[in-house]
């Protein structure tokens, strides 16, 4: 600044500096009256210079008291910095400002007034407001999300409580194991049935804590326990129909025995289901039930059948013998009509003898009183023998039957009589459940790549087939599918039950594939 300016020049110079500022500037007298303003102040208040000068400074703010206190503070302290006020335009617009102000004095040091410069911070304020709104919005969002989560947690814990209540109140014993077979959960029925409490078994291996025995009382090794196999990801079904549903529970069929804490044992039946995450087994659920009562009932039934069959056998045989004698003319020549009637009686009583025989076989098997006689057996020969026996029926129905035997089929050690019963049932069923001029194909193989170490044979027919809804019952006692009961009354529904029992007790497997009205194939494997 040029220090040589005249007083007048100096004031002009100051004036131009003041006017050059876009910020509103005021000078205020000790009484609070505005003594001078620049264009910035006129613009921000919307009031003409003549009107502003001489008016109260505090008139131009939304909060006059605060404005008043502001300039008073300047007089007291000499200055203020960043004093926040809001200027009100005559049209109602608001401008947020920060005031920097200081007193100015006469040459003699007398305080003349206050020089106040306002800095427009509206934009900053807006930004702050926006930020604040944004923060509020975020807060709101977080609060809402937290509430939602809390609701979810509540729902989940309610669902969990419900699940637990269901599991606890389930009548069947239930145990959940992790991927290594350690117990994670057992229900009340489990505790009651086995005598172990949840606390005692948690974290222990199921296969260790609950030993399993076979019918004869031999302990089943851990690795052979179905649970162990399920946990290593094997897909086993002990059911004899190939299941199309990959999530179908794995069925454990009796007889198997579990040992209680007090070392007593009970027969059980149940399910094991793998718990899958994607296709990885992360655990398993086993449910089972004590079937002592069912077994007792079953035994009583078998005992009764056995008794009845024994009692029936002798008189029935007598009927057959005497009819045979009559037919062979031992008691004199018969006329054609008599012969026809006696033939009916003969075939009827023979059928009854066969039926009584299978009743007896089943009951003997159920009671477990058959003695097993293992001998060297030639399966192809046994098939030939069975086919010969059925030749008359085959001829009558004009069936095209082929027996395909692979080379070098070894002899196997099995109970020949009982295995013969199986072949007989398979072949006679194929003949029975086929149309005239149907085709039956029997194959015998040994140790192919699919069944190493096994004898493998199949009986295929293009007959009636088995309806879908009957498939899982074919091997149950007395079961006969609707499509055959409609057609032929002959049959007991015991043959397949027997076959399965015999094959499984010979450590083999039996199963089938069938489509109604297309045909059936029964498969059997037996260890070599
Ligand atoms: P059944 O004395 O009735 O033949 P089985 O126990 O031998 O009794 O067979 C049970 C049921 O299985 C039969 O009644 C029939 O419904 C069905 N079945 C068995 N083999 C065949 C087959 N080859 N074709 C069609 N259905 C069959």
Q: Is 517 helix (H, G, I), strand (E, B) or coil?
A: coil
Per-residue model confidence (pLDDT) at position 452: 82
Ligand 1 centroid, distance to 254 Cα (angstroms): 22
- The structure tokens listed for 252 are 């454990």
Which neighbouring-strand residues pair with 101?
80, 116
- The structure tokens listed for 142 are 């977080």
Ligand 1 centroid, distance to 474 Cα (angstroms): 7
Q: Whose CA is closest to atom 7 on ligand 1?
A: 495
Which 8-state DSSP code applies to residue 409? Answer: P
For residues 376-393, give the mean pLDDT: 93
Q: Write out pLDDT tens, residues 229-286.
A: 888 877 665 544 444 555 555 666 656 899 999 999 999 888 888 888 887 888 998 9
The Cα angle at residue 95 between residues 90 and 97, in degrees rounded to 5: 130
Which neighbouring-strand residues pair with 102?
79, 115
Decide whether any atom of ligand 1 lies within 6 Å of the 98 Cβ. Answer: no
Per-residue model confidence (pLDDT) at position 466: 96
**Which of 20 and 463 is assigned the larger pLDDT?**
463
Query: Which of the four pLDDT bands, split at 50, 70 and 90, describes residue 394?
Result: very high
Q: Is 261 helix (H, G, I), strand (E, B) or coil?
A: coil
Q: Write out pLDDT tens, residues 468-499.
A: 999 999 998 889 999 998 887 678 888 999 89
Decide whether any atom of ligand 1 lies within 6 Å of the 430 Cβ. Answer: yes
Helix, strand, coil % over all residues of the chain, rounded to 5:
45, 25, 30
Query: Which of the four pLDDT bands, split at 50, 70 and 90, describes residue 128?
Result: confident
Decide whether any atom of ligand 1 lies within 6 Å of the 466 Cβ. Answer: yes
For residues 66-73, give the mean pLDDT: 90
Q: Which of 351, 429, 517 is the best mutation target for the ligand 1 pocket, counting ligand atoms within 8 Å of the beta carbon and taking the most?
A: 429
Which residues, at least 6 apart from 407, have a Cβ–Cβ distance to it below 8 Å?
none
Distances (CA, A) of 375 to 384, 419, 508: 18, 11, 16
Neighbours of 308 (CB within 10 A): 14
Kindly report the CATH number that applies to the domain delimited by 374-528: 3.30.565.10
Query: Which of the four pLDDT bands, split at 50, 70 and 90, describes residue 197?
Result: very high
| Residue 171 Ramachandran class (φ > 0 left, ψ -120 to 50 alpha, else beta) | alpha
pTM of the shown model: 0.51
Per-residue model confidence (pLDDT) at position 239: 47
Which 8-state DSSP code applies to residue 164? Answer: H
For residues 189-207, give the mean pLDDT: 93
Q: Is 335 helix (H, G, I), strand (E, B) or coil?
A: coil
Q: Which of 351, 433, 435 is the best mutation target for the ligand 1 pocket, counting ligand atoms within 8 Å of the beta carbon and taking the most?
A: 433
Per-residue model confidence (pLDDT) at position 369: 56
Spell out the CATH class of 11-120.
Answer: alpha beta
Q: Write out pLDDT tens, residues 428-446.
A: 999 999 999 999 999 999 8
Per-residue model confidence (pLDDT) at position 248: 57
Decide whether any atom of ligand 1 lies within 6 Å of the 426 Cβ. Answer: no
Per-residue model confidence (pLDDT) at position 246: 53
**Which of 373 and 225 is assigned the larger pLDDT?**
225
Q: Is 522 exposed, middle or buried (0-12, 13-18, 19+ CB in 10 A)?
A: buried
Specify the CATH architecture of the domain 170-290: 2-Layer Sandwich (3.30)
Nearest by Cα to 403 from 420, 379, 422 = 379
Decide whether any atom of ligand 1 lies within 6 Å of the 422 Cβ. Answer: no
Q: Write out pLDDT tens, residues 7-58.
A: 677 677 777 777 777 788 889 988 889 998 988 889 899 999 999 999 999 9
Residue 201 Cα to chain centre, angstroms: 25
Q: Is 105 exposed, middle or buried (0-12, 13-18, 19+ CB in 10 A)?
A: exposed
Per-residue model confidence (pLDDT) at position 240: 44
Ligand 1 centroid, distance to 466 Cα (angstroms): 8
15-24, 345-354, 391-400, 402-411: range with lowest mean pLDDT: 15-24
Ligand 1 centroid, distance to 182 Cα (angstroms): 43
Per-residue model confidence (pLDDT) at position 250: 65
Distances (CA, A) of 40 to 24, 156, 457, 519: 4, 64, 108, 103
**H helices within 235-373, ranges in order?**
292-327, 336-367
- Measured from the CA of 470, which atom of ligand 1 is nearest? 16
- Measured from the CA of 497, which atom of ligand 1 is nearest? 6
Q: Is 241 helix (H, G, I), strand (E, B) or coil?
A: strand
**Which of 235 and 408 is assigned the larger pLDDT?**
408
**Which of 64 and 447 is assigned the larger pLDDT?**
64
Question: Sign (positive/negative) of CA torsion 256, 262, 263, 265?
Answer: negative
Per-residue model confidence (pLDDT) at position 245: 54
| Residue 416 Ramachandran class (φ > 0 left, ψ -120 to 50 alpha, else beta) | alpha
The proportion of the chain whose per-residue pLDDT surpasses 90, expressed as a percent, equals 39
Give the chain's mean pLDDT.
86
Instruction: Supply φ then ψ for residue 523, to 5 degrees.
Output: -120, 145
For every residue of 181-218, DSSP letters joined together read SBEEEE-HHHHHHHS--HHHHTTSBHHHHS-EE-TTSP
> Under a CB-based contact definition with an 8 Å cutoff, are residues 204 and 210 in contact?
no
| Residue 453 Ramachandran class (φ > 0 left, ψ -120 to 50 alpha, else beta) | left
- Within the chain, what is the greatest distance between any pair of CA atoms? 172
Per-residue model confidence (pLDDT) at position 489: 66
Per-residue model confidence (pLDDT) at position 220: 85
Q: Which of 386, 484, 488, 517 is the best mutation target for the ligand 1 pocket, counting ligand atoms within 8 Å of the beta carbon and taking the most?
A: 484
Q: Write out pLDDT tens, residues 158-174.
A: 888 888 777 777 788 99
Nearest by Cα to 403 from 452, 453, 460 = 460
Per-residue model confidence (pLDDT) at position 243: 47
- Measured from the CA of 491, which atom of ligand 1 is nearest? 2
The span from the CA of 411 to the CA of 409, in Å, is: 7
Per-residue model confidence (pLDDT) at position 252: 62
Q: Write out pLDDT tens, residues 347-362.
A: 888 888 888 888 877 7
The span from the CA of 417 to the CA of 478, in Å, is: 22
How many helical (H) and strand (E) elements, i.e. helices and strands, does the chain have?
16, 18
């Amino acid at each position: 600044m040029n220090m040589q300016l005249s007083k007048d020049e100096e004031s002009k110079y100051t004036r131009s500096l003041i006017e050059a500022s876009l910020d509103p500037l005021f000078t205020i007298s000790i009484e609070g009256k505005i003594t001078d303003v620049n264009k910035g102040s006129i613009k921000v208040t919307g009031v003409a210079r003549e009107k502003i000068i001489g008016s109260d400074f505090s008139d131009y703010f939304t909060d006059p008291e605060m404005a008043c206190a502001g300039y008073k503070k300047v007089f007291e302290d000499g200055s203020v910095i960043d004093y926040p006020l809001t200027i009100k335009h005559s049209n109602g617009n608001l401008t947020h400002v920060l005031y920097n102000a200081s007193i100015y004095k006469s040459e003699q040091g007398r305080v003349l007034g206050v020089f106040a410069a306002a800095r427009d911070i509206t934009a900053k304020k807006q930004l702050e407001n926006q930020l604040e709104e944004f923060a509020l919005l975020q807060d709101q969002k977080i609060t809402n999300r937290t509430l939602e989560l809390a609701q979810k947690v509540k729902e989940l814990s309610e669902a969990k409580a419900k699940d637990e209540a269901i599991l606890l109140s389930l009548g069947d014993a239930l145990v959940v194991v992790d991927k290594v077979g350690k117990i994670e959960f057992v229900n009340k029925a489990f505790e009651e049935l086995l005598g172990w409490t949840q606390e005692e078994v948690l974290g222990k291996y199921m296969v260790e804590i609950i030993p399993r025995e076979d019918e004869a009382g031999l302990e089943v090794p851990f690795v052979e326990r179905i649970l162990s196999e399920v946990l290593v990801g094997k897909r086993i079904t002990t059911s004899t129909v190939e299941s199309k549903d990959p999530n179908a529970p794995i069925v454990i069929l009796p007889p198997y025995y579990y040992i209680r804490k007090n070392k007593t044992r009970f027969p059980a039946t149940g399910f094991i289901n793998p718990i899958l995450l994607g296709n990885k087994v992360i655990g398993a659920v086993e449910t089972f039930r004590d079937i002592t009562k069912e077994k007792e009932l079953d035994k009583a039934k078998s005992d009764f059948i056995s008794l009845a069959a024994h009692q029936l056998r002798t008189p029935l045989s007598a009927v057959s013998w005497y009819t045979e004698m009559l037919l062979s003319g031992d008691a004199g020549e018969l006329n054609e009509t008599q012969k026809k009637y006696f033939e009916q009686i003969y075939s009827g009583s023979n059928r009854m003898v066969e039926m009584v025989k299978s009743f007896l076989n089943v009951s003997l098997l159920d009671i477990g009183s058959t003695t097993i006689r293992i001998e060297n057996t030639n399966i192809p020969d046994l098939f030939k023998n069975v086919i010969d026996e059925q030749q008359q029926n085959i001829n009558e129905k004009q069936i095209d039957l082929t027996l395909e035997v692979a080379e070098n089929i070894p002899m196997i050690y099995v109970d020949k009589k009982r295995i013969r019963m199986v072949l007989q049932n398979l072949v006679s069923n194929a003949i029975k459940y086929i149309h005239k001029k149907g085709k039956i194909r029997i194959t015998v193989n040994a140790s192919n790549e699919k069944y190493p170490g096994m004898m493998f044979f199949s009986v295929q027919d293009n007959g009636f087939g088995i309806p879908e809804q009957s498939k899982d019952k074919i091997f149950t006692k007395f079961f006969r599918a609707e499509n055959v009961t409609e057609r032929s009354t002959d049959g007991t529904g015991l043959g397949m039950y027997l076959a399965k029992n015999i094959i499984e007790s010979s450590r083999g497997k039996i199963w089938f594939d069938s489509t109604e009205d297309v045909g059936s194939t029964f498969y059997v494997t037996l260890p070599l």
